[in-house]
Amino acid sequence: MQLRKIKEQIYWLGAIDWDRRLFDSLIPLPDGTTYNAYLIKGSEKTVLLDTVDPPMTDELMAQLEGVDKIDFIVSHHAEQDHSGSIPRVLERFPKAKVVVTPKAKGMLIDLLKINENTFVTVEDGETMSLGDKTLKFIHTPWVHWPETMVTYLEEDRILFSCDFYGSHIASTDLFVIDQGRVYEAAKRYFAEIMMPFRNVITKNIEKLKEYDIRIIAPSHGQIYDQPAWIMDAYRDWVMGAPHNSVVLPFVSMHGNTRKLVDYLASGLVKHGIRVELFNLALTDIGKLAMALVDAATIVVGAPTVLAGPHPLAAYATLLANALRPKAQFLSIIGSYGWGGKTVETLAGMIPNLKVEVLAPVLCKGAPSEADFEALDKLAGAIAEKHKSNNFK
Ligand code: FEO
């Protein structure tokens, strides 16, 4: 893909990774991704904003062939999908300086062994003149690591946001065209890497309020030339109240836990609650993460195996604990054969979740009438909690 013009003096460079299906050996990327870099040719200085993932470096270097100088490389984020090609760019443009937050400098030295004399560190709010264009660096920690920052191009009112507001979609669209598709991908992206840092991201969103942002140019996915909707979506995901919904990740070995799950789901629906089921033996874990963005309650369906929770249920519980969703209630249901410590083990895996644990329902073998009655009570208790909290 060739270098593409966004506006006069401002270009997209980068790579479209159509084939990538997993990030960090953990996060599913069903639609691939892009690594976006940007070039700004000021009247005096030329700046490259971020680079690309190392396997795509040749593509970036080919795009830079006709560029006669780079004075600065702004590295918003030390993670290698954006910083990994900096050493190659420095080989080609040895006089370029790498502009980073103080924290990113140490991380890039550790990760890429870049010479420390190459760096220029910038404080929060510091500006840099390129002649007829001005960059303002805004520190925005935890979108996605502690060292992250964004850049606001004052004259053009463009926010170069790196991971912030990004989405994993491989596409030749330079700008967002299919808003529904990008909403889903951006929500998945938020759920998987941003959700744990909601409190800090709230501060970053507040900080950006004072800027007139006409375009958001992220480092993954397409550019937002109408950014209001994605900024509104982030406000809802980060600060909005939980929805009147229950997420039900489960696994079933011989069908008994499944009977509990289906019965509970049906009971919750009767109470007017939205339910999303995720069979952990089949599901895309990213879909589960997305559902966790809004849900008020999580119910884990876990059969007992080898005296503890089924490992897939334990994995989903650990993941929920790591993602720190805004859910306020949690319960556990499942079938066991003769005994075990499923509830105790799962309950011990969620220290990060600020949830009230509602009475679990465990049945011996196939569920009995008494077990179904207990599920009726659990559905009623969840409905009461949602109602009293006015979850919509
Ligand atoms: Fe796209 Fe946190 O790197």
- Cβ atoms 282, 313 nearer than 8 A: no
Please compute the mean of the pLDDT values over residues 267-281 and round it to a whole number. 98
Please give the pLDDT value at position 1: 83
Percent of the chain with pLDDT over 70: 100
Spatial separation of the C-alpha atoms in residues 352 and 21, rounded to whole Å: 28
Q: How many CB atoms lie within 10 A of CB 205?
A: 17
219 CA to middle of ligand 1, Å?
8
Q: How many CB atoms lie within 10 A of CB 212?
A: 8
- Cβ atoms 183, 170 nearer than 8 A: no
The answer regarding whether domain 243-385 maps to CATH 3.40.50.360 reads yes
Please give the pLDDT value at position 22: 87
Instruction: Give the number of the atom of ligand 1 that is nearest the alpha carbon of residue 162.
Output: 1
Enumerate residues lining ligand 1, CB below 6 A: 77, 79, 81-82, 144, 163, 219-220
Q: How many CB atoms lie within 10 A of CB 34?
A: 28
Spatial separation of the C-alpha atoms in residues 275 and 290, rounded to whole Å: 13
Instruction: Give the number of the atom of ligand 1 that is nearest the alpha carbon of residue 145.
Output: 2
Which residue's alpha carbon is nearest to atom 1 within ligand 1? Answer: 163
168 CA to middle of ligand 1, Å?
10
23 CA to middle of ligand 1, Å?
9
59 CA to middle of ligand 1, Å?
19
Look at residue 25 and tell me whether its pLDDT is greater than 80: no
314 CA to middle of ligand 1, Å?
27
What's the predicted TM-score (pTM) here?
Answer: 0.95
Tally DSSP H helices, then E strands, for the chain. Answer: 12, 22
Please give the pLDDT value at position 156: 98
Q: What is the pLDDT of residues 305-337, one digit of tens each?
A: 999 999 999 999 999 999 999 999 999 999 999
**C-alpha Rg value of the chain to the nearest Å:** 24
Q: What is the pLDDT of residues 57-83, one digit of tens each?
A: 999 999 999 999 999 999 999 999 999
Please compute the mean of the pLDDT values over residues 221-234 and round it to a whole number. 98
Please compute the mean of the pLDDT values over residues 141-169 and round it to a whole number. 97
Q: What confidence category does residue 49 fall into, taking pLDDT thresholds of 50, 70 and 90?
A: very high
Please compute the mean of the pLDDT values over residues 172-180 and round it to a whole number. 97
* Helix locations, 154-275, DSSP H: 179-189, 198-208, 228-239, 256-270
The residue ranges of every structural domain in the chain are: 4-239, 243-385
Q: What confidence category does residue 231 fall into, taking pLDDT thresholds of 50, 70 and 90?
A: very high
The CATH class of 4-239 is alpha beta
Instruction: Give the number of the atom of ligand 1 that is nearest the alpha carbon of residue 35.
Output: 1
- Average model confidence (pLDDT) across the chain: 97
Please give the pLDDT value at position 228: 97
Which residue's alpha carbon is nearest to atom 3 within ligand 1? Answer: 79
Sort residue 386 into left (φ over 0), alpha (ψ -120 to 50) or beta.
alpha
Spatial separation of the C-alpha atoms in residues 161 and 212, rounded to whole Å: 14
305 CA to middle of ligand 1, Å?
37
